[in-house]
Structure 1
Amino acid sequence: MTGTESAGASDTSSHTKVGRLINEYGLNGIGEELERRWTGEDSERDSLRTLADVFNRRVLERAMLDTGMDPLDGEVSNVYRLLTDEDVSRGVETEVTARLEQEGLDVDLLRKDFVTYQAIRTFLKDVRGASYESDSRSSVERAQSSFARLVGRTTAVVEQKLEQLQSAGRLTLGSFRVRTAVTVYCEDCETQYDVTTLLESGGCECLSED
């Protein structure tokens, strides 16, 4: 279930953004940690989005240390939240940015070094050679079964209510059949799928992005 590192590849491989940043920031050992946390058992496994946040906080911490700052316990996580959380007010974000820049940290460049979950996935698969297909497949199958049951129940309820309205003379309707579908729209790549197709394909067009 856990992947093995690709032959001849190293975590600092510059052909991926994550690999380049590991080299630039001296984040030794984080590649192994990311792989371990991604390929763990279901109850212990972290999502790619969580791992992207983990990686970005390490980048932020190293950047703060390199400028001579000595962040207190929990300060890195809080600063990262203030820089990235959409719920943080513009005023607070500006204040934090100004404080970091006073310490000599280029916040604009730092933001460009933050990675997405797609970049983490590319690094884990292409550089670390990691794979989570077995558990991923079983999880997808469980999700498909769950969705099918929900759709079936929804269809049955709609049919029952329509028949009741027909019988009560409150609805004019000939022979009918209820078809229930669930569609998913990705706002990032602007694609839409029925949920079954999305699960079977393994994702939307964001899969092709680094």
Structure 2
Amino acid sequence: MTDIEDSETDESSCGCKLGRVADKYDLSGLDNDLIAYWTGDADEQLSTRQLATYVNQQILSAALANADIPPREGEIENTYRLLTDDDVSSGTRVQTRNELQRDGVPVEQVESDFVSHQTVYNHLTKCLETELEKPSDEEQLERSREKLAALQNRTEAVTSDTIARLDRKDLIDIGEFNVTVSVTVTCEECLQEYTVRELLDERSCNCQSQS
């Protein structure tokens, strides 16, 4: 009998599916992680949909470990995408499932253990009695600044990597270069342009201020 099967007989921390699955796959500390990510006590705040993906990837990781398959970097995320993403072809999904099955992973059981975002929400609010406090206006603005800045930095990094790769392949010819991404917001009424940070700092455009 496998470790996962052994753990099925253990008493669950709660009666919901997520609690049973956490016990089954020995996902210790999962409840604390879910609370921290949902409430924003962690470095980032995740929605229940994102948390469902997080839980399911933990399940998949535990199943691979139980089959003595050491996951490579990024493999869990990619394998989960191949199993669940609507954009993945049925042929690719079947191939992925067959490969996992051949490696000793009980794919059908693992997939049936995946949880939905509603299950995560119910577990957080009912089992863990966690409430999501509404952030203040300033907190919402600051989170928006950080999110948009991260997206801008990501765009700069991807663009820089792409240009460098094309240059190495001699598909383009460029010397030393820098990539700068600038996003502006234009009010169609007063035609005033703002950077995103300026608009979030000002919290209104000229015509709104004047009115």
TM-score with structure 1 length normalisation?
0.57
SS at match of 1:19: helix
The aligned runs of 1:36-115 (5 Å cut-off) are 36-40=36-40, 44-115=44-115
Aligned twin of 1:129 = 129
Deviation at 1:13, TM superposition (A): 2.3
Q: How many angstroms apart in 1 are the aligned matches of 2:133 and 2:15?
A: 24
Q: Residue 23 of structure 1 aligns to which amino acid in structure 2? A: D
Change (3 A) 1:12 1:35: farther
Contact 2:39 2:133 in 1 (8 A): no
Q: How many angstroms apart in 1 are the aligned matches of 2:75 and 2:49?
A: 21
Q: How many angstroms apart in 2 are the aligned matches of 1:53 and 1:95?
A: 21
Deviation at 1:104, TM superposition (A): 1.2
SS at match of 2:131: coil
Q: How many angstroms apart in 2 are the aligned matches of 1:47 and 1:56?
A: 14
Q: How many angstroms apart in 1 are the aligned matches of 2:135 and 2:23?
A: 31
The Cα offsets for residues 21-75 of structure 1, whole Å up to 9 and x where unpaired, read as 111100000110110000017x931100000000000000000110111111110
Q: Residue 110 of structure 1 aligns to which amino acid in structure 2? A: V
Q: Which runs of 5+ in 2 are unaligned?
A: 1-10, 141-211
Aligned twin of 1:30 = 30
The Cα offsets for residues 165-189 of structure 1, whole Å up to 9 and x where unpaired, read as xxxxxxxxxxxxxxxxxxxxxxxxx
Deviation at 1:134, TM superposition (A): 2.7
Aligned twin of 2:188 = none
Q: How many angstroms apart in 2 are the aligned matches of 1:93 and 1:19?
A: 28
Q: How many angstroms apart in 1 are the aligned matches of 2:100 and 2:22?
A: 22
Aligned twin of 1:13 = 13
Structure scoring higher RCO (CA < 8 A, sep ≥ 6) equals 1
**Structure 1 runs of 4+ with >2 Å offset:** 11-14, 133-136
Contact 2:83 2:93 in 1 (8 A): yes
Percent identity, please: 34
Change (3 A) 1:12 1:134: farther
Q: Residue 67 of structure 2 aligns to which amino acid in structure 1? A: T
Deviation at 1:101, TM superposition (A): 0.3
Q: How many angstroms apart in 1 are the aligned matches of 2:59 and 2:24?
A: 10
Q: How many angstroms apart in 2 are the aligned matches of 1:35 and 1:116?
A: 16
The aligned runs of 1:147-166 (5 Å cut-off) are none
Please report the RMSD computed on the Cα atoms of aligned residues, expressed in angstroms: 2.4
Aligned residues: 129
Deviation at 1:90, TM superposition (A): 0.8
Q: How many angstroms apart in 1 are the aligned matches of 2:39 and 2:45?
A: 6
Contact 2:14 2:127 in 1 (8 A): no
The Cα offsets for residues 141-166 of structure 1, whole Å up to 9 and x where unpaired, read as xxxxxxxxxxxxxxxxxxxxxxxxxx
